[in-house]
Amino acid sequence: MTTITYRDALHDAHREALRTDERVFIMGEDVADYGGTYAVTKGLFEEFGRHRVRNTPLSESGFVGLGIGAALGGMRPIVEVMTVNFSLLAMDQIVNTAATFLHMSGGQLNVPVVIRMATGAGRQLAAQHSHSLEAWYAHVPGLRVVAPGTINDARWMLAAALEDPDPVIMFEHATLYGTKGELDDAGPVDLDTAKVMRPGTDLTIIGWSGTLAKALDAAAQLDDRGVSAEVIDLRSLRPIDDATIIESVARTNRAIVVDEGWRSVGLSAELAARITEQCFYHLDAPVGRVCAEEVPIPYPSHLEQAALPQVDQVVDAALAVTGS
């Protein structure tokens, strides 16, 4: 086991990809000399040169479109979009082009592009840099959407994503970059599966990305109160691993979803619906949801924290569904 930051785990994944496959190149705003906004690509420009690590203009629609074209031409581009809010400028390229090419070409044209973007709040960057819009992309057929919430997934998801013949959107929660954890040598992960992070018997808590640590902290507090919580890291937001979730809820008979996105028409609603549809007769209580408040993310720190799901809210929701 090696202790490493989330940022460095991503850096090592990119370096390995560049070293092992000449088709791979990285492009995005300030990814070369500067090393990227989050320092994920620091040093790669010096090692691999400007043809492999490319700065782009401030035009998300332009450089995401270029990445799609390169993928159609046989390359394996990794496109970094600075924040999910900026990806809306490239929504046409991602949703109308990358996601549809295989279908509209009758199965002849794959688009093997990986589009990475930071998501989430917690750093006082206000309403244009702080939202969790994963559900918008998870809604779209033709895209694979993943969210590495651990050091190991930050290190090993990229290789699996680059092997996928279709477009992959990888969401990295911005508060995770500086976190540290133990890295193992598991190698490329299965992008289709959720992962049980902590076993339990009384309820299932489902989190991902930035909410995973909060779910685990809540489970530890619940343990002290005599409630055994199983925690699942969703990992893949499209497709969703129904089997792992339903197997867990069928045993625990209760479920909570912790989502940094808004409650209305979001991933928490989708997960609650799937659990209710497939596990109705196992449920001893309605599915609980802990989500962001229905407001643009505020700038002041105390208001930002008030708008986001917190550990005590997860604990309260768990006690409510278990009747504890």
Residue (of 258, 42, 39, 36) closest to 147 by Cα position: 258
Write the pLDDT tens digit of every residue in 112-133.
999 999 999 999 999 999 999 9
Give the helix/strand (H/E) hosting 101: helix 101-104
172 contacts 164 by C-beta, under 8 angstroms: no
Q: Are residues 310 and 233 in the same domain?
A: yes
pLDDT on residue 185: 86
Q: pLDDT averaged over the chain?
A: 97
Percent of the chain exceeding pLDDT 90 equals: 97
Write the pLDDT tens digit of every residue in 20-37.
999 999 999 999 999 999
Spatial separation of the C-alpha atoms in residues 25 and 239, rounded to whole Å = 26
Task: Report the sign of the C-alpha dihedral through residues 258, 262, 266, 269, in that order.
Answer: positive
Q: Are residues 16 and 135 in the same domain?
A: yes
Residue (of 253, 263, 250, 256) closest to 232 by Cα position: 256
**The domain spanning residue 34 has which CATH number?**
3.40.50.970
Query: Is residue 188 domain-resident?
Result: no
Q: Are residues 156 and 229 in the same domain?
A: no
Query: Is residue 73 domain-resident?
Result: yes
Burial call 39-70: b when 16+ CB within 10 Å, e when fewer: bbbbebbeebeeebbbbbeeebeebbbbbbeb
Final residue in a domain of this structure, among 163, 183, 203: 183
Q: Are residues 157 and 291 in the same domain?
A: no
**The domain spanning residue 285 has which CATH number?**
3.40.50.920
pLDDT on residue 218: 98
Range of 119's domain? 2-183
Final residue in a domain of this structure, among 150, 183, 216: 183
Query: Is residue 169 domain-resident?
Result: yes
Query: Is residue 189 domain-resident?
Result: no
Percent of the chain exceeding pLDDT 70 equals: 100
Give catalytic residue positions. Answer: 60, 129
Query: Is residue 190 domain-resident?
Result: no
φ and ψ of 317, to 5 deg: -65, -40
Q: Are residues 152 and 227 in the same domain?
A: no
**pTM, entire model:** 0.96
Q: Is 165 exposed, middle or buried (0-12, 13-18, 19+ CB in 10 A)?
A: exposed
Query: Is residue 20 domain-resident?
Result: yes
φ and ψ of 143, to 5 deg: -110, 145
Residue (of 147, 127, 129) closest to 137 by Cα position: 147
116 CB-near residues (< 8 Å, 6+ apart): 78, 79, 80, 81, 170, 172
Q: Are residues 121 and 65 in the same domain?
A: yes
The two structure tokens encoding residue 317? 């929701």
pLDDT on residue 68: 98
Q: Are residues 179 and 200 in the same domain?
A: no
Query: Is residue 98 domain-resident?
Result: yes
Q: Are residues 7 and 156 in the same domain?
A: yes
Write the pLDDT tens digit of every residue in 295-312.
999 999 999 999 999 999
pLDDT on residue 1: 75
SS3 for 147?
A: coil
pLDDT on residue 188: 82
Final residue in a domain of this structure, among 183, 212, 246: 183
CA 194 to chain centre: 12
Spatial separation of the C-alpha atoms in residues 230 and 255, rounded to whole Å = 9
162 contacts 110 by C-beta, under 8 angstroms: no
The two structure tokens encoding residue 204? 């299932």
Q: Are residues 139 and 215 in the same domain?
A: no
At 271, is the pLDDT very low, low, confident or very high (cuts 50, 70, 90)? very high
CB count in 10 Å sphere of residue 105: 12
Q: Are residues 295 and 215 in the same domain?
A: yes
Q: Give me the number of domains the chain comprises.
A: 2
Q: Are residues 86 and 211 in the same domain?
A: no
Q: Are residues 152 and 274 in the same domain?
A: no
